[in-house]
Amino acid sequence: MQMPALLQKAGLRKRSKLFRMSRFEKLVVFLLVLFSAFMLLPLVYIFNHAFKPYQELFVYPPTIFARHPSIQNFIELFNTTSDSIIPVSRYLFNSLAVAVLSVFVVTGVSALCAYPLSKHKFPGHKFVFGSIILTLLFAPETVSIPRYLVVSHLGIMNTYWGHILPMVAVPVGVFLMKQFIDQLPNELLESARMDGAREFTVFLRIVIPVILPAVATIGIISFQSAWGNTETSTLFMQDEQMKTFPFFISSLTANMANNVARQGAAAAAALFMFIPNLVIFLVFQSKVIATMAHSGIK
């Protein structure tokens, strides 16, 4: 008899919090719920749009929900390469491999760059950090030709490294991780060194756990950048089997005689492009919030 009574009391406490709200607070809660539902409409539209048959794709005014859901768009997407040597699955695999490898390489390089700038005051460290921040002023188009020459001279065209290396330098990642490492007390690092820990051990066991929110945030940014990138496939990949899924999407409706052909396949491809970004953000959203709050050791 005691357990149901406790559950009833807990339920009454939860309801009592709502009852204790003023009319203005209830109105604010209602408006926030309403705005949240409104912000979810684009997500609902993307999912429903991929399952709309052709007669619903071009309805005016457009509808959010699919009246007669169908998987025909996905069948069309995978059938577009039925006459080609390279299947759609190859483009998807390339994009997934490049995105995952880019996350590890970008976060690792950013952390390894930020740590000495923060905790090893070598001569000229302020100039190096200032130069990194200065690169934020350059538009991506200004470095396209130098980037092409570097990739060409390194001989990494038509390889996965040709996709990854051009995206390794992320000044925002270095800046964000340095701000987190700056909060780490020097005494903590010195005590670890006195106990016999090597520099790499200090970096892995002490520094990395502190900057995990920044690592997650930069990981999301680098994943989204690599997952939706078409530049490397256009400039550095002449071999069709090394090109990525975003490049394949851009070629779906290109050079078509009308604006109707393959629109269903494009809708299904857009859903494939969106789902990984959504999953990655939902998994690491708590770390992103911690980064925005600038958490860490004070």
Region 253-273: mean pLDDT is 74
If one compares 2 and 32, the residue with the highest pLDDT of the two is 32
Asked if residue 232 lies in contact with residue 162, where contact means CB atoms within 8 angstroms, the answer is yes
Percent of the chain clearing pLDDT 90 (strictly above): 11
Q: How far apart are CA 277 and CA 84, in angstroms?
A: 28
Q: Which residue has the tokens 């000044």?
A: 171
Considering the chain, what is the average pLDDT of its residues? 82
pLDDT tens track for 90-135: 999 999 999 999 999 999 999 999 999 888 888 888 898 888 888 8
Region 8-37: mean pLDDT is 71
Delimiting residues of CATH 1.10.3720.10 domain(s) in the chain = 88-292
Q: How far apart are CA 231 and CA 2, in angstroms?
A: 66
Nearest to 207 by CA among 99, 104, 286, 110: 110
Q: How far apart are CA 248 and CA 80, in angstroms?
A: 10
Terminal alpha carbon distance of the chain:
48
pLDDT tens track for 169-186: 888 889 888 888 888 888
Nearest to 113 by CA among 168, 154, 192, 162: 168
Question: pTM of this prediction?
Answer: 0.79
Where does the pLDDT of residue 12 fall: very low under 50, low under 70, confident under 90, or very high at 90 and above?
Answer: very low
Say which CATH architecture domain 88-292 belongs to.
Orthogonal Bundle (1.10)
Q: How far apart are CA 245 and CA 46, in angstroms?
A: 18
- Asked if the model's pLDDT at residue 255 lies above 60, the reply is no
Percent of the chain clearing pLDDT 70 (strictly above): 86
Asked if residue 230 lies in contact with residue 244, where contact means CB atoms within 8 angstroms, the answer is yes
Asked if residue 164 lies in contact with residue 101, where contact means CB atoms within 8 angstroms, the answer is yes
- Kindly give, in sequence order, each residue whose CB lies less than 8 Å from that of residue 294, ignoring residues fewer than 6 positions away: 179
- Asked if the model's pLDDT at residue 207 lies above 60, the reply is yes
- Asked if the model's pLDDT at residue 242 lies above 70, the reply is yes
* Alpha-carbon Rg for the chain in angstroms: 25
Q: What value, to the nearest 5°, has the Cα angle with vertex 136 and ends 130 and 141?
A: 135
